[in-house]
Structures are given as C-alpha cells and as structure tokens.
Amino acid sequence: MAFDRPWQIVLLIGLAVVLRMVLPRAPGLGRWRSSLLELDDSLLIAILVVFCVVRPFVLQTFFIPSGSMLPTLQEKDRIIVLRCWYRFQPPKPGDIVVFRAPKSAYYSNPMENPDLNEQKDFIKRLVGTPGDRIRVYDSLLYRDGQPQDEPYIEWPKAIPWPGDGRTELRMPPDQFVVMGDNRNNSNDSTRWELPTFGPSEINAPYVSRERLLGKAWLIFWPPHRIRILH
C-alpha cells in the first residue's frame, strides 16, 4: 500500500490512536505495557511527521509504471522526488519533474485514462520554460533556435512538432513543456490535445507551474539501479 490517498493516512493514524486508548486497559500485558505504549507513541509521531511534514513538503517516493522515460528510468524503478526543490529555485530545462497530469493528457490516451476526473502523477523531462521558443524539427529539439544535445534520450523524436516543426512554440508565463526520454513512446506535451470543438482542434501542450510537484532526485530501488538522477 502506497498510502497516497487521504483515507489511507487517516486510517493509519486512527489505528495508532485506537491502540493508544486500548493498551492501558488491555489485560495480561504486564511489564510490556509501558514499552508498547512508548512504541505506539513513537509510531504516531512518525506517521504525523512523515505524512504531514516530510511527504507534502520535503521528500516523496514514486513508482515508475511505464517505459516513457527509457533509458533514464526503467519500469518498476522507485525514485525519491524533492518536493521542496522548486520552492527555492525555478525549474530548469533538463530537469526530470513529477507533476499532476493536465486533463489534456487523459484525452490524448483515453484507453489508459478512462476516468477524466482521476488525478494522476506523471514524470517527464522538462524541455521548455517560460519565454523559451521550442520546436522539434528533423529529429532534433530546438530551444531558442539552437539544437539541443540530448544524450539521455532513447530515440530522437520521429515526428516534427508543433505542426510541421517549422513554426516555434513560444512559451507563455508560468507554463512548461515536457517530453519523455523515450520520445516516440511517451504521453507528453507533443501529444496533448483537447477534444475537437467545431471545426478547430485546441492544442494544450503545457504543464502549469502549480502542477509541478517536485524534481526527481534518486533511484533507490532496485539496488543495482541506485543512482543520482541528472
């Protein structure tokens, strides 16, 4: 159990509180009673610190469910994300970020995201920041007119973007563009479109600043994959 839903955390705290109420009256504990009470108190404090301070504001663990970030991240990798990182410095191109997926991400892949109201966390590489000019042309990512050296990607992007890749996408304030390192097999900014309304199709390729949860920092499982992420 990942304890990523509020009811799971409330249940865990509730169990610790119930134990704190039951242990003083439980028969047959003898000299173990005080030790069990201290253990339960320590557990309750640890739960409150982890779920009310560390996890929301400092560190959080995430499980990698797909190959969209190959070769950097493998399926079933477990990583630590710095939730506090972007409180002290702005997001930068090249950062691996975890974010709340925008609704356009669900529309672009309805088979894997049938519930449009579900909240999912995605992990991608940040390639465009506010004020940048972005495009993919001739299998290269261009930022502000300069081709980018990306040794970490699986394969170059096969399809130009946006459109035929001849027109740059100018990044608006507080908005970011993200791509998977597995460029041709990733549900990312290059695929995000909302449904067609009338004769036009609205492209929504951005992740807003408020949706960024943190910067991926470390692979901690499996053991042979332990490494700092760059």
Selecting among 34, 35, 66, 68, the annotated active-site residue is 68
* Phi (first) and psi of residue 113, to 5 degrees: -135, 65
Contacts made by residues 16-24, CB under 8 angstroms, sequence distance 24+:
16/40, 16/43, 16/44, 16/47, 17/44, 20/44
Q: What is the dihedral of CA 104, 108, 109, 110, to 10 degrees?
A: 70
CA distance 1 to 20: 23
Q: Strand (E) positions, 85-211? A: 96-100, 121-128, 133-137, 140-143, 146-147, 169-170, 175-179, 193-197, 200-203, 207-208
| Angle of CA points 78, 81, 86, to nearest 5° | 165
Overall residue count recorded for the chain in this entry:
230
State yes or no: is 124 an active-site residue: yes
Selecting among 124, 157, 189, 215, the annotated active-site residue is 124
State yes or no: is 76 an active-site residue: no
| Angle of CA points 107, 112, 115, to nearest 5° | 65
The answer to whether residues 86 and 212 touch, using CB atoms and an 8 Å cutoff, is yes
Catalytic residues: 68, 124
